[in-house]
Structure 1
Amino acid sequence: MNATQEKLFLELRQTKEEIEQSLQIKKRQDWLISILEEELADINTAILKFEKGSFGHCEISGELIPEDLLSMIPTMKSMEESQNLQTYYKKTISTSFL
């Protein structure tokens, strides 16, 4: 495990603990609970991949997912998911419109 992966692993474990604590508080709204449970499942899958030595490999092609993408979204499962990032990517406003 290289330094970047070790940092991601520690972040995943910390996020997992935070989500588990949030789920223990029953005052959350139902829609939020389902989001937290889905995120927790993705984190558990990523942690398991670390433990098996398969973290960072695309589940479809088996190729390595670039570290810069994993740094942004350590629970990324495939390169296909990276194509969805453009939907959420915040683009700068061109100054020519101002």
Structure 2
Amino acid sequence: MELRQTKEEIEFSLKNKQKKNWLTSILEEELKDINAAIQKFEDGNFGQCEISGEFLPEDLLNMIPTLKSIKDSEDLESYCKKTIYLR
């Protein structure tokens, strides 16, 4: 439900932008990731790593439902100020 709401908000924002700027491409990428996550949910494979097929940690998916792979989760630490502990 949260993904669908975020999708609507981003689509509304993109629709009402007067001109493209640095934020436009970020919003378009985020929308693409959200659409992919929604499709995975509908197909029954939401939460599976796109590389290994293993399930991603539920705690992490609750924080970042558009996460695609375990590798992506490992890359998060370079963007976060605190260490992310996965159970």
TM-score, length-scaled by structure 2: 0.89
Percent identity for Structure 1 against Structure 2: 67
Amino acid of the structure 2 residue aligned with 1:58? C
Residue 9 of structure 2 corresponds to which residue in structure 1? 18
Measure the CA separation in 1 of the matches of 2:27 and 2:62. 20
SS in 2 for 1:27: coil
* Structure 1 residues not aligned, in runs of 5+: 1-9, 93-98
Amino acid of the structure 1 residue aligned with 2:71? E
TM-score, length-scaled by structure 1: 0.80
Runs of 4+ with >4 A deviation: none
* Structure 2 residues not aligned, in runs of 5+: none
Residue 56 of structure 1 corresponds to which residue in structure 2? 47
Measure the CA separation in 2 of the matches of 1:73 and 1:17. 17
Residue 6 of structure 1 corresponds to which residue in structure 2? none
Residue 89 of structure 1 corresponds to which residue in structure 2? 80
The structure having more radius of gyration, on CA atoms, is 1
Residue 66 of structure 1 corresponds to which residue in structure 2? 57
Which structure dedicates a bigger proportion of its chain to helix?
A: 1
- State which of 36, 40, 43 in structure 1 corresponds to 2:34: 43
SS in 2 for 1:34: helix
Residue 30 of structure 1 corresponds to which residue in structure 2? 21
Please say which of residues 26-35 and 50-59 is displaced more in the overlay.
26-35
Aligned pairs, number? 83
